[in-house]
């Protein structure tokens, strides 16, 4: 099976590493940046590759596209004629409804797109930060469409397990985007707001413990990627932010009113929920 990776950034590069470790030899790479392709070849992450998708897509039995959300549909439209008949295509996009609708509308009948989301990554960009270890034990989500062939969904599921993902699940694009708005996008919004609300700039570093470090690590964020993700999941993210704002306001009011009972109740509830959550 020949695998073509479109986009060799931090995610595409991590897939290249993971495929190599899993023993896949016929892996080819496409990236608009010639230097990135060169690095991937030098590091033997791909057997071969280049900057021209039209040259490499025709050999892909499986194509893994790791592009920014807004680049995915245009790429598919421009290159639809180059895909190999009967091939399976999958993506790594963090929002789904938007891309599923746009791409399903322009797919060839003999091209099956299995939409996927590896819930792993790094805040840094580029192949130099690629690291297959981020996939180990991570969650992987597939959002099947009515036109997907079962055998192709299963093939992607099996591959992702072989690449180290811990949980591989199927859900609807709608549920995916609702959950991701809460579990991924909201936390990033909170980390950014926390860091940006710092009046103390001069010397915050001397006053922090692990809690601040943990909560703000993801405030160092890929601005282009995450603004596309936020705006691509607008309603779900707004709902998640609203629900959070209400909980925070409950705590704020309890502090304002010296209401210890409400505070301890909030803490007991969050402690029980966090305990129940997988570590």
Q: For residues 198-217, which are near a copy of itself according to CB under 8 A?
A: 198-201, 204-217
Lookup: tokens for 51: 């900057």
- For a copy of itself, the closer of residues 77 and 252 by Cβ is 252
What is the secondary structure of the chain as a DSSP string?
--EEEE--SHHHHHHHHHHHHTT---EEEE-S-HHHHHHHHHTTSSSEEES-HHHHGGG-SEEEE---HHHHHHHHHHHGGGSPTT-EEEE--S--HHHHHHHHTT--TT-EEE-EEEE---SS-SGGG--GGGGTT-EEEE---TT--HHHHHHHHHHHHHTT-SEEEE--HHHHHHHHIIIIIHHHHHHHHHHHT-S-GGGGGGG--HHHHHHHGGGS--HHHHHHHHHTTHHHHHHHHHHHHHHHHHHHHHHHTT-HHHHHHHHHHHHHHHHHS--
Q: Which stretch binds a copy of itself (CB under 8 A): 4-12, 40-48, 148-156, 184-192?
A: 184-192
Comparing CA positions, the residue from 71, 74, 79, 84 lying closest to residue 1 is: 84
Q: Smaller CB distance to a copy of itself: residue 109 or 275?
A: 275
- Which residues between 141 and 180 bind a copy of itself (CB under 8 A)? 141, 167, 169, 176, 178-180
Is residue 244 a contact residue for a copy of itself (CB under 8 A)?
A: yes
Residue 260, interface with a copy of itself (CB under 8 A)?
yes
Show contacts with a copy of itself in window 23-52 (CB under 8 A): none
CB atoms within 10 A of CB 38: 14
**Nearest distance from C-beta of residue 262 to a copy of itself, angstroms:** 9
The correct pick among 26, 111, 129, 182 for binding a copy of itself (CB under 8 A) is: 182
Q: Shortest distance, CB of residue 87 to a copy of itself, whole angstroms? A: 29
The number of residues that bind a copy of itself (CB under 8 A) is 91
Q: Which of 111, 266 has the CB closer to a copy of itself?
A: 266
List 22, 54, 174, 243, residue binding a copy of itself (CB under 8 A): 243
Give least dist CB 133 to a copy of itself, A. 12
Task: Choose between 58 and 166: whose C-beta lies nearer to a copy of itself.
Answer: 166
Q: Does 264 sit near a copy of itself (CB under 8 A)?
A: yes
Q: Is 98 in the site for a copy of itself (CB under 8 A)?
A: no
Choices 22-30, 33-41, 153-161, 246-254; region in contact with a copy of itself by CB under 8 A: 246-254
**78 touches a copy of itself (CB under 8 A):** no
């Amino acid at each position: 099976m020949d695998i073509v990776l479109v986009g060799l950034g931090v995610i595409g590069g991590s897939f290249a590493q993971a495929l190599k470790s899993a023993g896949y030899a016929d892996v080819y790479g496409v990236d608009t940046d010639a230097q990135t392709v060169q690095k991937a070849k030098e590091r033997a992450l791909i057997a071969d590759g280049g900057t021209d998708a039209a040259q490499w897509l025709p050999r892909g039995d499986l194509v893994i596209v790791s592009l920014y959300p807004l680049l995915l549909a245009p790429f598919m439209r421009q290159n639809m004629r180059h895909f190999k008949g009967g091939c399976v295509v999958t993506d790594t996009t963090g929002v789904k409804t938007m891309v599923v609708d746009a791409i399903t509308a322009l797919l060839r009948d003999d091209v099956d797109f299995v939409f996927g989301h590896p819930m792993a990554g790094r805040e840094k960009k580029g192949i130099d930060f690629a690291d297959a270890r981020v996939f180990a034990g991570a969650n992987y989500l597939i959002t099947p469409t009515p036109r997907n062939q079962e055998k192709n969904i299963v093939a992607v599921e099996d591959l992702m397990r072989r690449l180290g993902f811990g949980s591989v699940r199927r859900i609807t694009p709608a549920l995916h985007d609702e959950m991701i708005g809460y579990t991924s996008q909201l936390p990033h919004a909170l980390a950014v707001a926390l860091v940006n609300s710092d009046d103390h700039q001069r010397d915050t570093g001397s006053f922090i413990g692990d809690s601040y470090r943990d909560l703000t690590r993801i405030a160092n964020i890929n601005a282009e990627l995450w603004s596309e993700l936020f705006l691509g999941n607008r309603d779900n993210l707004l709902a998640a932010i609203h629900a959070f704002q209400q909980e925070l306001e409950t705590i704020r009011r309890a502090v304002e009113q010296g209401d210890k009972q409400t505070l301890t109740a909030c803490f007991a509830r969050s402690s029980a929920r966090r305990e129940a959550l997988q570590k």
